[in-house]
């Protein structure tokens, strides 16, 4: 339910062709991964056949898609770790790609991987490919930083083993997947902020997030949404 007439959102919206590139500048260097994530959201909207919707309808569909990708992320990571082990990647190399300890990696990923949502998995794979390509650009890193920090960490510990149609291609893909998933909460907050700016109730947002309660949606996003809207009013 919309509580007020729609107002123009002052930032790019999912129906805007520029949305995938117009990531808000917030002083961090995660833009390539957020752009990749947005590309994955658009891919899932296309796969679900709802990419032609406009306005708030598309914003809510984008929330639904991104929340599904966020839920699928841990299981997809697990599956990619199993693929890495199948190609004889060491636990040390896998741990370095995921920025966790070798012991944690072994404990977390030795059990069987859960099933994943196929559309969300395809969308995350699209996100990884775009984010990895974008991160190769020198503009996406702070001055003096290693343009591929996970590659330097994994030097000598990984090699390409897959094909573009059979992810992951190598451990760098696994590292990029981790960085893309780190951005999901931030990107969800921006979509939820747009919905709230347009007057959408927390109850409706909770349904888009995957059937969570109004209270749970409010608790999870109230603080970041207020910060986004406050920054918009101050600008």
Residue 71 has pLDDT above 90, yes or no: yes
Nearest to 41 by CA among 165, 131, 129, 124: 124
pLDDT digits over 79-135, tens only? 999 999 998 899 999 999 999 999 999 999 999 999 999 999 999 999 999 998 887
Q: What per-residue confidence (pLDDT) applies to 143?
A: 47
Does this model's pTM top 0.85? My answer is yes
Name the band, by pLDDT with cuts 50, 70 and 90, for residue 213. very high
Q: How far apart are CA 174 and CA 177, in angstroms?
A: 5
DSSP-based three-state secondary structure for 18: coil
φ/ψ bin of 27: left (φ > 0), alpha (ψ from -120 to 50), beta (otherwise):
left
Cβ atoms within 10 Å, residue 28: 12
pLDDT digits over 151-184, tens only? 554 444 445 676 666 789 888 899 999 999 999 9
More confident residue, 68 or 142: 68
Contact yes or no for 34/183 (Cβ under 8 A): yes
Domain spans in the chain, listed from the N-terminal domain onward: 31-182
Q: What per-residue confidence (pLDDT) applies to 4?
A: 46
For the ranges 17-26, 106-115, 210-219, the lowest mean pLDDT is seen at 17-26
Q: Across the chain, what does the average pLDDT equal?
A: 86
| Mean pLDDT, range 137-142, rounded to an integer | 48
Q: How far apart are CA 101 and CA 103, in angstroms?
A: 5
Contact yes or no for 102/51 (Cβ under 8 A): no
């Amino acid at each position: 339910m919309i509580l007020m007439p729609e107002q123009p959102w002052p930032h790019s919206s999912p129906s805007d062709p520029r949305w995938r590139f117009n990531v808000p500048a917030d002083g961090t260097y995660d833009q390539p991964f957020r752009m990749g994530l947005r590309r994955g959201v658009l891919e899932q909207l296309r796969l679900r056949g709802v990419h032609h919707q406009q306005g708030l309808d598309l914003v809510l569909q984008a929330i639904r898609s991104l929340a599904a990708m966020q839920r699928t992320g841990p299981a997809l990571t697990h599956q990619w770790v199993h693929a890495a082990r199948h190609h004889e990647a060491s636990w040390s190399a896998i741990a370095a790609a995921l920025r966790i300890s070798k012991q944690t990696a072994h404990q977390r990923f030795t059990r069987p991987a859960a099933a994943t949502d196929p559309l969300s998995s395809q969308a995350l794979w699209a996100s990884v490919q775009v984010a990895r390509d974008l991160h190769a650009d020198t503009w996406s890193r702070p001055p003096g930083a290693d343009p591929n920090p996970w590659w330097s960490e994994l030097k000598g510990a990984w090699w390409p083993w897959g094909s573009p149609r059979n992810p992951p291609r190598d451990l760098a893909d696994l590292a990029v997947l981790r960085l893309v998933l780190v951005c999901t909460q931030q990107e969800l907050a921006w979509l939820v902020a747009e919905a709230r700016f347009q007057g959408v109730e927390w109850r409706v947002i909770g349904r888009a997030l995957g059937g969570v309660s109004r209270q749970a949606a409010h608790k999870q996003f109230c603080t970041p949404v207020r910060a986004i809207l406050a920054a918009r009013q101050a600008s």
